[in-house]
């Protein structure tokens, strides 16, 4: 299994620990790599960790049975990332994603949210389905949930970073955006085949 953009390694560690899965994880941010290494060592789990971009995965084609992305694809070149994920999956592999999504936000609201979070794109569920299909994926399952239904979304990332006045301010703004747009901003969950 490949955890694309593993962050602090929470999901990769959980899957390795709970299921005994053969897990490989990547992230491009040095702080996240350091946090993931610490997590894997403290839990004594075997996860192969690489500093790499989802846009240029350092693995041969057809390597993985499963690829997972959680809150990663909004920050990268989507066509490049999806092509790379598809390339490293086996023909009968699965791609599972949990990614930012919106329904009915105005262009100005999308711009405000994208600027705060650093998103390259913020898409609707229909746009996600279209992009996945255009990239050669067939969606087996697809669902959308508003942030208001998952108010702690984003908390693990903030907790994992050192507390600073800047982080407190960012967390407050995140809470404000969630309160303001929580009925129209959320995430989609999809399971696709290459």
pLDDT tens for residues 102-141?
998 999 999 999 999 999 999 999 999 999 999 999 999 9
Residue 111, pLDDT score: 94
CA atoms of 36 and 15, how far apart (whole Å)? 14
Please name the residue that has the structure tokens 């229909």.
Answer: 126
Model's pTM, two decimal places?
Answer: 0.88
Domains with residue ranges and CATH for the chain: 53-193 (3.40.50.150)
Strand, coil or helix: 44: coil
Using alpha carbons, select from 95, 102, 40, 100 the residue that is nearest to residue 72: 100
SS3 call for 189: strand
Say if residue 72's pLDDT is above 90. Answer: yes
Nearest CA to 79 among 52, 57, 55, 99?
55
pLDDT tens digit string along 2-26? 999 999 999 999 999 999 999 999 9
Summarize the confidence of residues 70-84 as an average pLDDT. Answer: 97
**Order of strands, sheet of 89-102, starting from the edge strand that comes earlier in the sequence:** 47-51, 23-27, 2-4, 64-70, 89-102, 185-193, 138-146
Q: What is the DSSP letter of 124?
A: B
How many of the other CB atoms lie within 10 Å of CB of 14? 15
pLDDT tens for 41-64 read 999 999 999 999 999 999 999 999
Give the pLDDT confidence score for residue 27 in this predicted structure: 98
Q: Which two three-digit tokens encode residue 165?
A: 């006045």
pLDDT higher at 186 or 81: 81
Given the DSSP bridges, would you call strands 185-193 and 89-102 parallel, antiparallel or unpaired?
A: antiparallel
Q: Is the dihedral of CA 133, 11, 75, 171 positive or negative?
A: positive
Can you name the residues that pair with 94 across neighbouring β-strands? 66
pLDDT at 150: 59
Do 168 and 134 contact (CB within 8 A), yes or no?
Answer: no
- Taking only the tens place, the pLDDT of each residue in 134-181 is 999 999 999 888 877 755 444 444 445 567 788 778 878 888 888 888
Asked whether 108 and 145 are in contact (CB, 8 A), the reply is no
CB atoms within 10 A of CB 176: 11
Condensed to tens digits (0 to 9), the pLDDT of residues 37-46 reads 999 999 999 9
Q: Do residues 97 and 68 lie in contact, with contact meaning Cβ atoms separated by under 8 Å?
A: yes
What is the per-residue pLDDT for 158? Answer: 46
């Amino acid at each position: 299994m490949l955890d694309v953009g593993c962050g602090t390694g929470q999901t990769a560690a959980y899957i390795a620990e709970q299921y005994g899965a053969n897990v490989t994880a990547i992230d491009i941010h040095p702080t996240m790599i350091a946090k993931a290494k610490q997590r894997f060592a403290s839990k004594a789990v075997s996860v192969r960790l690489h500093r790499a971009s989802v846009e240029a995965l350092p693995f041969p084609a057809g390597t993985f049975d499963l690829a997972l992305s959680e809150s990663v694809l909004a920050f990268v070149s989507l066509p490049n990332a999806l092509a790379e994920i598809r390339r490293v999956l086996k023909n009968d592999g699965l791609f599972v994603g949990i990614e930012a999504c919106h329904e009915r936000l105005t262009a100005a609201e999308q711009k405000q949210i994208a600027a705060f979070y650093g998103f390259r794109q913020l898409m609707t569920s229909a746009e996600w389905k279209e992009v996945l299909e255009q990239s050669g994926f067939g969606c087996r399952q697809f669902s959308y949930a508003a942030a208001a239904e998952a108010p702690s979304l984003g908390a693990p990332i903030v907790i994992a970073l050192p507390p600073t006045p800047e982080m407190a301010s960012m967390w407050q703004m995140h809470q404000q955006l969630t309160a303001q747009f929580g009925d129209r901003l959320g995430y989609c969950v999809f399971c696709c085949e290459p």
